């Protein structure tokens, strides 16, 4: 079984731009979650999707948004990028519960200049 | 919301010794507590988890204990090996929340 795939692996953007990150979950997994990882901060929850519905959202500004498609693939979008958005964005998939037995992707490393 | 605190932030142990990482949580509704290991440059991977109706769980050299009354849980690694060097994250969750609240992580270094 293929693991969780995230693209692109690296991104360099400038302030004010927007970015779209993609995540393909493990086949059969219907829940996809997104986390932001920064040094010393651990993993901060962004949002979770199941069957194209957002079931929970973290404490991030409205510039962060996401969606899930009928094939369970998910995208997240960050608009009007700020320097503080520089981080590793991790996607995780699970069978149905957004909190149990998460399988993480390798992440997208976003640098905002 | 849930707040998870993790200690220590760094831990250096001699190969063969034990390592203990402790976490506390704030939300009494939390009932699921996983631990993830992230090796340098790699993705986090689940190594063990425990539910609130269980006090202890073991898997070979790793074990997790949970004290619901005190709202804390711990990861114990015995007979540490160089491959145990990594960042370990604890997390807590309410089953109805569809998310994990992570601690800030503990960097474990096993000295040969």
User: Tens of pLDDT along A24-43?
Assistant: 999 999 999 999 999 877 89
Return the structure tokens found at B2: 């849930």
User: Tens of pLDDT along A64-100?
Assistant: 999 999 999 999 999 999 999 999 999 999 999 889 9
Distance between CA atoms of residues A45 and B99, nearest Å: 7
User: Tens of pLDDT along B6-55?
Assistant: 999 999 999 999 999 999 999 999 999 999 999 999 999 999 999 988 89
Q: What is the pLDDT of residue B93?
A: 96
Partner-chain contact B43 A45, CB within 8 Å: no
First to last CA, chain A: 37
B2 reaches A (C-beta below 8 A): no
Return the structure tokens found at A79: 């608009």
User: Tens of pLDDT along B54-102?
Assistant: 899 999 999 999 999 999 999 999 999 999 999 999 999 998 889 999 9
Q: Which residues of A touch B89 (CB under 8 A)?
A: 42-43
Chosen from A48, A100, A103 to mutate, greatest number of chain B CBs within 10 A: A100
CA distance B17 to chain A (A): 26
Partner-chain contact B46 A48, CB within 8 Å: no
Local structure of A9: helix, strand or coil: coil
- Give the number of other Cβ atoms within 10 Å of residue B74's Cβ: 18
B11 reaches A (C-beta below 8 A): no
B98 reaches A (C-beta below 8 A): yes
Across all residues in chain B, what is the average pLDDT? 96
Local structure of A83: helix, strand or coil: helix
**Half-sphere exposure (CA, 13 Å, Cβ side) for A6?**
25
Q: What is the pLDDT of residue A2?
A: 83
Distance between CA atoms of residues A3 and B85, nearest Å: 23
Sign (positive/negative) of CA torsion A96, A104, A41, A21?
negative
Distance between CA atoms of residues B59 and A72, nearest Å: 32
Partner-chain contact A107 B43, CB within 8 Å: yes
């Amino acid at each position: 079984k293929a693991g969780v795939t995230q693209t692109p692996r690296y991104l360099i953007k400038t302030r004010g731009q927007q970015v779209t990150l993609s995540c393909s979950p493990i086949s059969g997994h219907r829940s996809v979650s997104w986390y932001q990882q920064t040094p010393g901060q651990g993993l901060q929850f962004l949002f979770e999707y199941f069957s194209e519905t957002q079931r929970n959202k973290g404490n991030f500004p409205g510039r962060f948004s996401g969606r899930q498609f009928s094939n369970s693939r998910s995208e997240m979008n960050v608009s009007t990028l700020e320097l503080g958005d520089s981080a590793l964005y991790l996607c995780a998939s699970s069978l149905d519960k957004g909190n149990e037995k998460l399988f993480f992707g390798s992440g997208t490393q976003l640098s905002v200049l | 919301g849930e707040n998870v605190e993790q200690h220590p932030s760094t831990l250096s142990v001699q190969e063969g010794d034990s390592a203990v990482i402790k976490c506390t949580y704030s939300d009494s509704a939390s009932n699921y507590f996983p631990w993830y290991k992230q090796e340098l440059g790699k993705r986090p991977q689940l190594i063990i988890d425990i539910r609130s109706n269980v006090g202890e769980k073991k898997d070979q050299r790793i074990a997790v204990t949970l004290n619901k009354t005190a709202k804390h849980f711990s990861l114990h690694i015995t007979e540490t090996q160089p491959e145990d060097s990594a960042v370990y994250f604890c997390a807590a969750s309410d089953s109805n929340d569809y998310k994990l609240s992570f601690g800030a992580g503990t960097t474990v270094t096993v000295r040969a």
